[in-house]
Amino acid sequence: MQVVDPLGSGILFAYPQLATIAGVQGVVVYALSSGLPLFVFAALGPIIRRKCPEGFVLTEWTKQRYGIITALYLGGMTLLTLFLYMVSELSAIGQVVSLLSGLNGLPVMIVQCVITTIYTSLGGFRISFITDNVQGAMVVGLITIAAIAIGVEVNIDTSLIQPSGLTKSSLLGWQLLYILPVAILTNDFFLSSFWLRTFASKSDKDLWLGISIAVGAILCIITLVGSTGLIAVWANVVPGPDPENPIDGAVAFFALLEQLPSWVVGFVLVMSVTLSTAAFDSLQSAMVSSASNDLFRNRLNIWWIRLGVVLLIIPVVSIAIRAPSILQIYLITDLVSAATIPVLVIGLNDRAYFWSGWEVVVGGLGGIFSVFLFGTVYYGNAYDGGRLILLEQGLFAEGWGAFGAFVAAPIGGMLWALATLTLRLGSQWVHAKAKGQRFTGLDRPSAEASAQQEAVLDDDNATEAAVEVSAKGKEDGKFV
């Protein structure tokens, strides 16, 4: 449930929607869960930088630690995450335009894709960093104008506050205490922009300072945007006075805007489009960079990569037109990351030298499969178990479906990884006994083998040599 980068127009849907369901408790938990996990980058960033000083994204350390196959797997999951974020951003801006102007949002989506493609192709990440500043200014301006206008024009019916139940705790609110930190923390690992900033920081002190400022800003932004959902309910804008045509909580922010002067709506529309454009170009640049570095190891001409991303925009737009709620798209990416990241970061511990790429890949895929298994048992049929992977019932359905999915993903992934580790080491032990050789599966890698491995990994043209050294030194962190 990424809320920091890209901080696009999707925030105007997801945060107020959560507030209309989980109330004050949901807003507070969402804000804390979105901001505080960033401190993990301050804690783990220096460790990864020391282990992989030449790296600049997480996949560089993954390749060094686990090998090329695991790096490709992580790269693929990263690209899937970026793809879904692109869908959510286009879907969001299309809905914003439709809600605020009554016009078809598709032409705006197409124009946005064309414009961002042109200037990101010419300027790359350098342009994206510039638009990030515009993005931040638009967020501040949007929130400021909306807050003033809502405070002046919207009348809150205090008699609705208590009956709404939004000031009380709820089952969903307590479930979010687990779901949101797991979802947001793991998903942050998939976004290359965080790692680029982590590796680029001049010192650990600067890293902590920058993240502290970001956390403070996030807490304020999410609380303010989320509060519009509460205000919409207490002003009887959501679900509205007509019980036969209730207004969905996902559009609470825009339902409030209908109560405001047209000039405010115009400002919000312009700022939303600008905000979305700045977020979307960051996603495009990140996808180009990730595909070039993670999948093709910078051996394919960058213009072919850019062409591939341009062609990928076609299905992005097609899916965005029919996309479900923005929050559901975020949750799908969160479920993937919740299954993958826990088994990946075990390799940061030097004592887990025996943890290999097999455990990471099988554990990650097994975590997603575990969600299906849980859903099949919980709902009593395989069809609904499969739907749980896509969280089609969303986060707000009654029961323990969504909560169980976010428990099954990391815990199931870890169990699959441990089973893989047991099977791998067991087969190596049986093979060693059958050949009359010493079992070396749990031997620490020798200093010489480690040095050779690092030297070989620095040369992208020496893949065969890397496999040979890994087999000799048993560094295992790799697929051997």
- The pLDDT tens digits for 8-58 are 677 788 889 889 989 999 999 999 988 898 898 888 888 888 888 877 678
Backbone φ, ψ for residue 6 (5° rounding): -85, 135
The yes-or-no verdict on residue 450 having pLDDT over 70 is no
Using left for φ > 0, alpha for ψ between -120 and 50, and beta otherwise, residue 124 falls in left
The whole-angstrom separation of Cα 281 and Cα 234 is 37
What backbone torsions phi and psi does residue 455 show, to the nearest 5 degrees?
-65, -40
Cβ neighbours for 349, distance < 8 A, ≥ 6 positions apart: none
**What's the average model confidence in pLDDT over 447-468?**
43
Banded model confidence at residue 146, pLDDT cuts 50, 70, 90: confident
443 close to 405: Cβ distance less than 8 angstroms: no
Crossing angle of helices 326-345 and 171-188, in 10° steps, is: 60
Residue type, 113: C
Q: What domains sit in the chain, N to C, each tagged with a CATH number?
A: 11-322 (1.20.1730.10)
Query: Which are the contacts of 185, defined by CB distance < 8 A and separation ≥ 6?
Result: 33, 37, 40, 341
| Per-residue model confidence as pLDDT tens digits over 253-272 | 888 887 778 888 888 888 88
Residue 52's contacts (CB-CB under 8 Å, 6 or more residues apart) are 60, 61, 64, 65
Mind giving me the DSSP string for 423-446? HHHHHHHHHHHHHT----TTPPPP
- Enumerate the H helices of 241-296 as residue ranges: 252-257, 262-290
Confidence of residue 296 (pLDDT cuts 50, 70, 90): confident
> Residue 479's pLDDT band (boundaries 50, 70, 90)?
low
Q: How far apart are CA 97 and CA 209, in angstroms?
A: 37
